[in-house]
Structure 1
């Protein structure tokens, strides 16, 4: 909060003192409400040419009105005390405000607080893809006040028919309740998203249906909710890199191949129900050029037929039984075409990591890509292959498709090869990767994800997680999903700490007195220092005694699972109003206060500094006099 000088229209010393005192009192009152007053630059305008890392929206609601470009579609939305408040009187009202711009890859985050709720089932949401006018359909990442419920967190769509489709649910480690600030975020990459609750991934989805022009938004239902520090940051398009603290991306090898006949639609369905993020399958052409889902060069092992797939027509392949070899209850399963597989994923959910199996001509690759286009799945398919030519053809024909290079052994320079082939991911045999784990860091530095195949044991998963592997291709997808859940539970025991007041970057004047506030989890001890000297959480900062300029608060917490640290740097600024507050609270002789205040009002800063120096230890306490003199000299230079 910036406090401006008193109005020059006040021409009497007493009136000016009263104005300064009133302004200082108002500032202290604001601090009592918000915990800290922070001047933050608002940047809600859209850059002409944004890119990864660009902050598209940064809003701390420091003005008294809704930010420019924010559209209160319905409900009551207002800015008070440095926060945005949204109110929905009824559980049937999905009140919303929209902002930002359409982005394919972005992170939306905000501090949310339930002020009042009609029931623990009521909710607030981050809008992921919302028409600017609020019309359906839209997608949201939802948080209930009863966040520990099984559906405390959700990804959901409101359909054009005004019905709900909830695609994913999860519970948070603690309840948001009321009156508690929770930092939440959602990271979106196309149809994929991660729900992040207080810095930890809670769940993910690959079922978003993105629009061509949807923006971001905030929602409230059956509650009054306040929001602060809303930011939208554009992300690099490679959403396959695993964020710190997040579990593996689970890729079901040939579908749920340990539970059902591989490369069939039933294997795909089981993998989907088991929570796999991606289905991995192989594609090859029939004699008449139709792409089919089959791993081997022949149909002998996985069907009741014989012969090379490239020697059989589509009609012949479709007549084969692809299930009875695996078990009697799968009799009658068929070898699906690529089009059939994609149609199933499009309508029932899921993404496809498709391996172009064996040598393919450019025309054969073009046919695969055309099928993907026809099925409207270009945003949900990842191409991988051992065949470099197949990847080159794919990039030439459809540069928007992500590419992964399969390798049995590691290349001498995976990074250079990744750049040459325009790879999104480098996909080596997991054992080869464990033999040379340092390549993961170099690939990540180049923006390339690492997907290891085909790893089926918890021991190997643990080793691959430690070296930073992003995704696992496995025959045991449902087990890896469970392992991921256990990983998140282990991670949730790590201590965390954040300095919530004064916030990092805060600019405060003398009239303010923020309290050091520390939010910690899983911590047994908390230590706090101010400029290297011991302090404490809950201590009120007396800014009248600190030198103008930057100051740093540091904290360290320890718990059973380790330690965590945080720092916050704030700046004590010099202003006429702040100096006035300093004079009024200095404890100086009343005659000295009157003399100094008169000089302050008339902007006689140099004279004020000299007076404070002369009276130090006499009419003005020495420790305060030095601060008064320093601030006055700073104002004299402005």
Structure 2
């Protein structure tokens, strides 16, 4: 376990609860207030580089149909591939390191359920390999229904990640898909929920975006690409926290070794967390403790031992006999293994380091070409300041055993990418997560091995969790992603059911829906704008019905509210004053109403219909006058 000076980090972003469509329009003395859902914290005010609904009827400017048949019809883009051997593509956009690509996709016909479409994530404009894609098969619930894959320079496939969607895309069904890319990391979303992630993208210097079709005809609508802020460590809406393997898979293999790193990688950890300390001759080694006594067959402080002495130690037998002969890795070895076999490194600079010692760590990271896949954290503020000064390209995180009074201020002072407290400390003040996210700072907590605490931290919105049990947390995340979609709910807040209103009132409709993609509102069977004011001056006296229907991925919900338009003298006076009648007619109408001459009022309104009084208003005045005359 970790003590206060001992880090373990977790990376996952606080997610916005529920995929909810919220439309709230409040009535207060005729004032309309609109409440809209907050945008995903990951996007921020990003630049939209592509936004196409294909309403022009032709291929958009800058879109290049590399191969296959591509055409625009009926406000959609259609792509056709007649063979499973054809990876037909259309390219567009520009190179971005951090972006979100979205599209509405519909398989129109397929040769078989294994045929696919894909969002191209890093594709040259001429479509020549290598390129990277996020694939969805029409049989998307298959074990490889979703994929991240590379077409290599040798024109072969390198499929790095596979998974399944929550339902089959099939044919004739619109599916909203999205991929968020941050450098080598990407997350696949289906209808707003993460379904697959990767840390293995190999990015080019100039590849843009594309759409692909294989053995099918597929149509697309509402294609967009939005540039994201570079902090890809913030957890997107619909995603669980990142899995950070503490000292590798330290519950299953000797900590801080290459074998622990391999076990964590196979357990689908998003990050490998390790500790680094220098040898006597200045070589950075991967070791947690200040001495080698606990995890090797040697003794003494690591800073008193040379690299040759350290490499001669057995770092595996203490854990289990089958790991005898396992050695302490240098930082070079650790990074080389990650570079060639895959994975990202959360690197803790352990204990106090001089500027020169931090400079050595930075040099090793750069020499191993791993700057895009290393995140540096430390309890030592000086080490973080040195890192920021020497390598501003590296993200940095501050480890804390307890929370600062103002974590946001600390983060701003140090230029942090993440603020990484103990999970136990964070749960005493979970509200700081939202404050840090508002400032664009991720939250990674350490070291948590309990499913109950994972749940609490996920609900608090943390972006990552450092754990000794990465396989278990990855499994917990998989269960989280497969949870049933929340059923939509909808309620009509205003006018309340059973309300009695007179014509002088102008209520605004207030509908609140959750887990809904669309909300439809009708008044007496006719579609009305959600949030618009109800004009009671033109409605017939008596009962009226509002009906709201919310539709989401898990079904639909409906609500009904009835209200009554009551005839009153005040209401009729309002109708007359706002009628638009000419001055003579207006004076006559008011005089007849004031003297309660209702029969004459009805007759005058009928006579002046379409003359001094607008016809539609005259009929309401006449009808209400007759009702008042009967009382």
Normalising TM by the smaller chain, what interval?
Answer: 0.7 to 0.9
Q: What residue number does 1:474 align with?
A: 467
If the length of structure 2 is used for normalisation, what is the TM-score?
0.73
1:495 touches 1:557 (CA, 8 Å); kept in 2? Answer: no
- 1:473-530 CA distances to partner (integer Å, 9 max, x unpaired)? 000111011111111222x3312599xxxxxxxxxxxxxxxxxxxxx9999xx98413
Return the match for 2:173 from 168, 172, 180: 180
Asked if 1:493 is matched to 2:456, the reply is: no
Take 2:174 and 2:526, find their aligned partners in 1: how far apart are those partners?
24
Asked if 1:556 is matched to 2:536, the reply is: no
Asked if 1:171 is matched to 2:151, the reply is: no
Take 2:216 and 2:328, find their aligned partners in 1: how far apart are those partners?
51
> What are the ranges of 5 or more consecutive residues in structure 2 without an aligned counterpart?
1-42, 491-512, 529-537, 539-545, 560-606, 620-631
Residues 185-200 of structure 1: pairs in structure 2 closer than 5 A: 185-200=178-193
Q: What residue number does 2:366 align with?
A: 373
Return the match for 2:241 from 243, 248, 268: 248
1:127 touches 1:141 (CA, 8 Å); kept in 2? Answer: yes
Return the match for 1:340 from 322, 333, 336: 333
2:488 touches 2:550 (CA, 8 Å); kept in 1? Answer: no
CA spacing shift, 1:63–1:248, aligned 2, 3 Å: same
Deviation at 1:245, TM superposition (A): 2.5
Return the match for 1:414 from 389, 404, 407: 407
Residues 55-66 of structure 1: pairs in structure 2 closer than 5 A: 55-66=48-59
- 1:401-452 CA distances to partner (integer Å, 9 max, x unpaired)? 1110000011111101101111010000111100111111111110111111
Residues 274-313 of structure 1: pairs in structure 2 closer than 5 A: 274-313=267-306
Take 1:467 and 1:443, find their aligned partners in 2: how far apart are those partners?
12
1:287 touches 1:314 (CA, 8 Å); kept in 2? Answer: yes
2:182 touches 2:230 (CA, 8 Å); kept in 1? Answer: yes
Residues 430-579 of structure 1: pairs in structure 2 closer than 5 A: 430-490=423-483, 492-495=484-487, 528-530=520-522, 555-556=549-550
2:433 touches 2:460 (CA, 8 Å); kept in 1? Answer: yes
Query: Runs in 1 of length 4+ with deviation above 4 angstroms?
Result: 520-523, 532-537, 557-565, 614-618
Asked if 1:109 is matched to 2:102, the reply is: yes
Q: What residue number does 2:134 align with?
A: 141
Structure scoring higher RCO (CA < 8 A, sep ≥ 6) equals 2
Deviation at 1:243, TM superposition (A): 1.8
> What are the ranges of 5 or more consecutive residues in structure 1 without an aligned counterpart?
1-49, 499-519, 538-546, 566-613, 627-638
CA spacing shift, 1:90–1:561, aligned 2, 3 Å: closer
CA spacing shift, 1:133–1:616, aligned 2, 3 Å: farther
Take 1:393 and 1:262, find their aligned partners in 2: how far apart are those partners?
27
CA spacing shift, 1:186–1:294, aligned 2, 3 Å: same
Return the match for 1:395 from 370, 375, 388: 388
Residues 144-155 of structure 1: pairs in structure 2 closer than 5 A: 144-155=137-148
CA radius of gyration, larger in:
2
CA spacing shift, 1:142–1:369, aligned 2, 3 Å: same
Deviation at 1:52, TM superposition (A): 5.1
If the length of structure 1 is used for normalisation, what is the TM-score?
0.73
2:62 touches 2:92 (CA, 8 Å); kept in 1? Answer: yes
Return the match for 1:131 from 124, 141, 144: 124
Deviation at 1:470, TM superposition (A): 1.1
- 1:131-158 CA distances to partner (integer Å, 9 max, x unpaired)? 1111111000000001111100101011
